[in-house]
Amino acid sequence: MVHDQLLIRWLMDNFPVGSYIINARLGAVSEEVLKRIPPEYQGFTQNYQLTADAIAFKDNKVYIIECIVRPAEWWKIQQLDTYAEAFRVTERFRDKWDWPIEKILLTTQTNPFMEAQAASRDIRVVKFTTTETEYYLGTVRKRQSTPHGKGLKPPAT
């Protein structure tokens, strides 16, 4: 619940209403799977796709967004690369396959190591929080509310 509130508030602050999709399904379902599902149930094939937290469209550009409330989950950095690849084969978005993609990691906390990991994958890190999020982070165990790698030295570039 906190995750969705944070994500939606940030989306509403940064994109026009109607220009974003939450829990966007990405990827092309294999022919093998499609053959096994009766035509009247083809809508269920979306369950085989990947699910990005959000994608948005603005100024002929695609934004793929992953949101992290508990900063110990910043492994989502790697997911953004996969989502970008999957976007380019998602039939629903065929008309936007040639648009540039910006990958965004929306997070409540960051650190130099996390930022270096993201930068090495051409991912923009956006720090964003709300009063509700801060309250929630105060209720979880310290190791869940502290970014992994916080004390690590970023790799040399």
Q: Is 24 exposed, middle or buried (0-12, 13-18, 19+ CB in 10 A)?
A: buried
Q: Which residue has the higher pLDDT, 61 or 149?
A: 61
How confident is the model over 86-114, as pLDDT tens digits?
Answer: 999 999 999 999 999 999 999 988 888 88
Q: List the chain domain ranges.
A: 2-145
| CA 68 from centroid of its chain's CA atoms | 9
* Confidence check: pLDDT of 145 > 60: no
Most confident region among 9-18, 37-46, 75-84, 124-133 by mean pLDDT: 9-18
What average pLDDT does the segment 118-132 reach? 93
Q: Share the mean pLDDT of the chain.
A: 87
Residue 128 confidence class, pLDDT cut points 50, 70, 90: very high
Q: What is the pLDDT of residue 75?
A: 75
In angstroms, the CA 101 to CA 56 distance is 10
How confident is the model over 24-49, as pLDDT tens digits?
Answer: 999 998 888 878 888 887 777 777 78
Long-range pairs for 10-16: beta carbons < 8 A, 24 or more residues apart: 10/67, 10/106, 10/126, 10/128, 11/54, 11/56, 11/65, 14/56, 15/56, 15/58, 15/63, 16/58
Q: Which residue has the higher pLDDT, 134 or 119?
A: 119
> Are 54 and 48 contacting, i.e. CB atoms less than 8 angstroms apart?
no
Q: Under CATH, which number does the domain 2-145 receive?
A: 3.40.1350.10
Concatenated DSSP letters for 82-96? HHHHHHTT-GGGGGG
| CA 139 from centroid of its chain's CA atoms | 24
What average pLDDT does the segment 14-33 reach? 93
